[in-house]
Structure 1
Amino acid sequence: MKSSFFKLFPAAILAGSLSLHAAQQPPEPAAPPSATLLAQCAAPFRDNAILQQKIKLPVWGMSLPQAKVTVTFNSQTKATTANKDGSWRVVLDSMDAVRLQSVNDSPAGKTMTIVCEKGGDKAVKIINNLVLGDVWICAGQSNMAGVMKRAGHPKNYPPNSINNAHYPALRLFAPQKNQWLVCSPETAVSFSRVAFFFARRVQRDALVPMGLIVTAVGGSNIESWLTQAPYPIGKNHKKLLAPVVGYGIRGAVWYQGESNEKDRRDYQPKLESLITGWRKLWQQGDFPVHFVQLPGIKQSSTDNPAGGDGRAEIRQAYVETLKLPNTGMAVTIDIGAPREHPPNKYDTGVRLARSVLQKVYGFNNLSSCPLYTKHVIDGKTIRVFFDNARMGLMVAKKEGFAPPQPTPDAKLQWLSIQAKDGTWHWADGKIDGSELLVSCKQVSEPVAVRYAYTQHPNGHLLYNKDGQPVSPFSTIGYGPKPTTP
């Protein structure tokens, strides 16, 4: 017997959730809506919505059992008959978005009409001002949930970010409010800061309407968002994501991990399960999932060249997850803060956008944050190679929202080298174009290198010439698992 949860959200069934959760208890039944002939559509189908372009687009909802349901949109008409429980679903043919002239362009909205008929009665539902574009799930905990606000501190985002927010083709859906907001100076205050700057940059370059579905809860752990064995179905998935499962999307961005910091390397299988679980539910293939590698927090000791403290391992867990197809990562070690909730979400959003623009939208000339790829030991020196560094590397220091300023005479900080006997030593780094030469006078037989592999690396750090920070790395991966907590 199906629970009313699945009656409300038949797309979850169609996406295979019943088979995925066969060994688990289904969610607690939700109170079913009062049966009416008038179509009751799934949560995101509201006025001002962005509908996903370039895919076969499912539309679903509830009516009376056996009612004839006819959906008309953008010169298409699709009809079906409601099931015995009143649920219905149609699939519209793929459609293309209209390319924007600028981020301030106001695309003409279209109307979706849903006619339900039974026993000579007819009920007509109209959904207005719909625009085709790209829809992104924006999920995580408080650093994703935090909103712009009008009276923002100048450290929070660049001046005039709110006053200039006339972006009619940028829209936000918050499941808690069950409505779409069209971006304007009046509504932008309610947008997630990370999501806002992410979408604004993607839209500026790709000139595509952008829809954001923000499902983020302060203090939430990753377990609350998981959907498949061996983990139980998470409460935030049930409450916030389940209602939108099946709604056409382009991809997802994820900023979470603070509440799982103590998981260290054990965060990786959970993040992998999150991504593969969402992909199974949506049944849109391996859609893009890009995530934020946690920023620095508190303070790192300068007496520990081996590193591995604090957030070092969980950051490596994000790197390890990049083995999954269609994933990407924004590095934020240089915009951390002594406490949680670093104020600068502007650079976080932009770096996520650069990763997505490069890997999803085909902007191949746009670099994202460089990652370690390989190393070669040559006598007393280890040569380290990176991607996204074809224009070269630099030592630089970042302050506020301004691009990092090159500091060619400064020593690269938080760079260490391991000797053959297993001891670690602070090292010297010499930039050779897009490669880094690492050595130490006290080490004649080096075997490994680590960079920024610590709680809060700051100061003079490594960037590519486009100002994108190099991710922390360890050429031996996590290394031996600590024997103490």
Structure 2
Amino acid sequence: MNAEVRVNAVFSDHMVLQREATIPVWGTGLDGMVVKLQFHGKQTEAVVANGCWRADLPAEKAGGPYELIIEAGNQLIVFRDVLIGDVWLAGGQSNMQWSLAQTDHAQAEIVDSHIPDFRFYDVPRVSYEDGIVHSPSWKVCTPEHAGAFSAVAYYFAKGIITELGIPIGIIGCNWGGTSIACWVSEQVLTHDDDLRIYADEYNEQIENFDWDVFAAKEAHYKEQIAEYDRRFAAGLREKELGDFPAAPMNPHYFLRPFGLYSTMLLTVVPFALKGVLFYQGESDAHRPLIYDKLLTAMISHWRTIWHHSMLPFLFVQLPAFGNGGNANGKEWPLLRESQLIVTEQVPYTGMVVALDCGDLEDIHPTNKKPVGERLALLALERVYEQPVESSGPVYKDYLIDHNKIILHFDHTGNGLEARGNQLIGFEIADETNEYVSAQAVIEGATVEVWSDQIVNPLAVRYGWANYTEANLVNSFGLPAGPFRTKREERQ
């Protein structure tokens, strides 16, 4: 189609536009063309300059369906069944991408997924500008389409619609295996002494890059994949199975830093949003002590490009995972702590604890329903200001009583509880900083922790392992996240 004027691909039939905010509509065309827009009885226009145009529609209340009519010369473009509601971008890696069809009890949920006020748009996963024209579109939530939606986003949207009765649009912008470094500009990484390691490593890998040499490396990589698949089919797991082979880096690889920022994220900027949902961290767990800086930089960057300094960011703390046979490792608890630090330091952010939604052997736990529902609770409380409790117990402070440490918590509801018969997951240490497994009992809104091996306790930590079955919850059944009374190793 050699149209003189094009509208950005994010606009289509069945879309949801953001309520109570200016609505940007944009595209490309021939310089000098006048583009006229009509929507819900209101009109605006723009003139194409330097091949681009943008028109801003005035804010609207929730409602619909409406038609968006665009005229330019002899062209007439009509988008039908357009709703006004709240639009959330669902970003991250595979656990956000994970489809509803791949989750627990999927078929029963999909059969009952007639939610006409929920619409989903998946940004095409494009690793480099290959010239291919993609034609994505918004999908109405029906049994025909729901199975392909992000499961976390699905349960989030369902929860918001159930409670507030407003249309919800989800823009899925995610790709499995990606680091945050994939989703920010090169400048974000190179202008920070700690974060530039992502850019430096990539630049070193592609220095003097040769496509012929790469072809040989790629052939070897495919052989490694085949061998990995054979070991997996033979029943080998964890250390016997080994790590999934790493693909050779190249300038078109989707895992390269600052690539998907251009080829995916920027394709939907500045589409008006209510907020961002984010589930990521697994691919950055090898650098847990700078993850708080990395996530903070991304949040600031996205708020800048959207021109929305208070854009809400709600994210998922990593669940329990054995990390390839390293269940007792400390990489993931350190990254979870970095995620917690972001909520303490960056305004208009929130985090849901998913420690109890993990899997010892599978980095892709299939129990996504609680994760999406907890994100909905978080949004209801923090963004929509509804009178709900969205948080599990949050460590507040402690006092030492002889050989015990007494922990105090916020967000306890009507009291603390142990999910199961006995409270587990606590460790205690003295001046040696050597932690040992501890006994713990609940006393109202406090937890008393001790060990016969520790006479003069100084510190406690909870859920401090890659995989843990720590089970402290509040009266609402929401879990406590891992914590330490002393944050060592962060200097």
TM-score range, shorter chain: 0.7 to 0.9
Q: Aligned to 1:469, which of 469, 479, 483? A: 479
Aligned to 1:167: 115
Residue equivalent to 2:218? none
Residues 309 and 449 of structure 1: CA distance in aligned 2, closer, same or farther (over 3 Å): same
- Counterpart of 1:109 (choices 24, 49, 65) is 65
Deviations 1:278-319 (A, max 9, x none): 1111012221111111111128999x9xx7624111111111
SS of 1:162 mapped into structure 2: helix
More helix by share: 2
Matches of 1:236 and 1:86, distance apart in 2: 23
Task: Give the Å deviation of 1:268.
Answer: 1.6
1:426 aligns with 2:437: yes
> In the alignment, residue 113 of structure 1 is paired with which amino acid?
I
The equivalent of 1:138 in structure 2 is 90
Letter in 2 for 1:226: V
Name the CA shift for 1:158/1:87 in 2 (closer, same or farther; >3 Å). Answer: closer
Which residue in 1 is equivalent to 2:302? 278
Letter in 2 for 1:91: D
* Structure 1 residues 215-250: Cα deviation after superposition (integer angstroms, max 9, x where no partner): 111111221112342346611111111100100001
Deviations 1:344-400 (A, max 9, x none): 111111122111111111123333233223333344332323232132110014xxx
Map of 1:383 onto structure 2: 406
Q: Residue 16 of structure 1 corresponds to which residue in structure 2?
A: none
Runs of at least 5 residues in structure 1 that lack an aligned partner in the other structure = 1-32, 99-107, 398-406
Cα 1:370–1:75 change in 2 (3 A) is farther
Please give the alpha-carbon distance, in whole angstroms, between the structure 2 residues aligned to 1:148 and 1:242: 26
Greater mean deviation of Cα atoms: 162-171 or 224-233: 224-233
Alignment match of 2:10 (pick from 12, 19, 44): 44
Counterpart for residue 187 of structure 1:
145
Distance 2:285 2:433 in 1: 27
| RMSD between superposed Cα atoms in Å | 2.3
Cα pair distance change 1:435/1:267, threshold 3 Å:
same
1:157 and 1:356 map into 2 onto residues whose CA distance is 25
Task: Give the whole-Å Cα distance in 2 for the aligned partners of 1:421 and 1:146.
Answer: 43
CA distance in 2, matches of 1:287, 1:180: 23
The alignment's TM-score, normalised by the length of structure 1, stands at: 0.80
Q: What's the CA shift string for 1:411-446, capped at 9, x where partnerless?
A: x22201121343322222222222222223333332
How many Å separate the matches in 1 of 2:168 and 2:285? Answer: 31
Any conservation in 2 of the 1:172–1:182 contact (CA below 8 Å)? yes
**1:91 lines up with 2:101 in the alignment:** no
Shift of 1:131: 0.3
Give 1:366's aligned residue.
389
- 1:223-242 matches, within 5 Å, as 223-227=181-185, 228-231=187-190, 234-242=258-266
Gap change, CA 1:427 and 1:261, over 3 Å in 2: same
**Structure 1, residues 90-118: CA drift from partner, whole Å, max 9, x if none?**
212211104xxxxxxxxx4100111223x
TM-score normalised by the chain length of structure 2: 0.79
In 2, are the aligned partners of 1:300 and 1:457 still within 8 Å (CA)? Answer: no
Corresponding pairs, count: 413
Cα distance in structure 2, aligned partners of 1:300 and 1:369: 28
Instruction: Tell me whether 135-144 or 436-445 shows the greater mean CA deviation.
Output: 436-445
After the TM superposition, which residues 205-244 of structure 1 pair with which residues of structure 2 at under 5 Å, given as runs? 205-227=163-185, 228-231=187-190, 234-244=258-268
Structure 2: any 5+ residue segments left out of the alignment? Answer: 125-134, 191-198, 200-256
SS in 2 for 1:198: helix
